[in-house]
Amino acid sequence: MVDLRHIVFDPVLDMLDQGGWVLVGIALASIVAWTLIFWEWLRLRERTSGGWTNIEQSIADLQSGESPGHPSLHPTTENFIGKLLRSPVIQQRLDRPSFEAQVMPLLESETVMFERAMRVIAALAASMPLLGLLGTVLGMIQTFGALTDHGVAEIDALAGGISQALITTQAGLVIAVPVLLTHGLIRSRIRQYLAISSVLLKRIETIIVVEPPVQRVFNSVRPHV
């Protein structure tokens, strides 16, 4: 029977021992970063899994005067446009300040929620190579200290510092690159989601916002440049 301890755990423990506490810090930063990436991917998937066709159809129903109660707009849908279409606000006729006060914070909170996690992931990814560089510096300090104490004859005394210097640098770069690439991919998907949501929110605004009579007259006589 294959002993997983000797195949998997022992090499990892040896590497952590050679890299020291810096390598442990890189590993912890990687675990936190991938956990946040997975969590943000799940949240984005919940908001886009149903597609936009049914939401656009509900907006078209709202524009034609019908209730936007498309069967696909399930109450558990996390897309905030879907939540807005199910809310009582959508049946009201609001002026522009009231609409901005009640609805626009939804988009802003959605943006802040995603951006906060993306900033943390980017900071963790940027810190990994720096931690690797710190490990290199510490390893070289250890190496020079061994040279001072034992001279070049004691190879074993030099090997620990050189090993720490190389392993931490390699680990910092190898772990940070996939995190950065995945971060960029998810960030582009988030921007696409927020851009589409913003466009749909503008369509809803043109439908339910009622301008005061004075404003409508002003808009009708305003010269076009």
pLDDT for the residue numbered 13: 56
Dihedrals φ, ψ of 2, to 5°? -75, 130
> What DSSP letter does each residue of 197-224 carry, written as one string?
HHHHHHHHHHHHB---HHHHHHHHHSPP
Look at 124 and 51; give whichever has higher pLDDT: 124
Tell me how far apart the alpha carbons of residues 28 and 8 are, in angstroms, rounded to a whole number. Answer: 18
CA distance linking residue 196 with residue 205, whole number of Å? 14
- Domain boundaries of the chain, sorted by first residue: 4-46+78-209
Of 36 and 17, the one with more pLDDT = 36
Q: Is 190 helix (H, G, I), strand (E, B) or coil?
A: helix
pLDDT of residue 77: 53
pLDDT for 150 equals 59
Whether residue 125 contacts residue 187, with contact meaning beta carbons closer than 8 Å, is answered with: no
Residue 216: predicted pLDDT = 47
Residue 75 confidence class, pLDDT cut points 50, 70, 90? very low
Q: SS3 breakdown of the chain: % helix, strand, coil, rounded to 5? A: 80, 0, 15
Residue-wise DSSP of 98-123: HHHHHTHHHHHHHHHHHHHHHHHHHH
Is this prediction's pTM over 0.85?
Answer: no
Asked whether 125 and 180 are in contact (CB, 8 A), the reply is yes
* Model confidence pLDDT, tens digit, residues 88-139: 777 777 777 777 787 788 788 888 888 999 999 999 999 999 988 888 877 7
User: pLDDT per residue over 170-224, tens digit each?
Assistant: 888 888 999 999 999 999 999 998 898 888 888 888 877 766 654 444 455 455 4
Alpha-carbon distances of 66 from 1, 59, 63, 72, 197, rounded to whole Å: 67, 9, 7, 16, 21
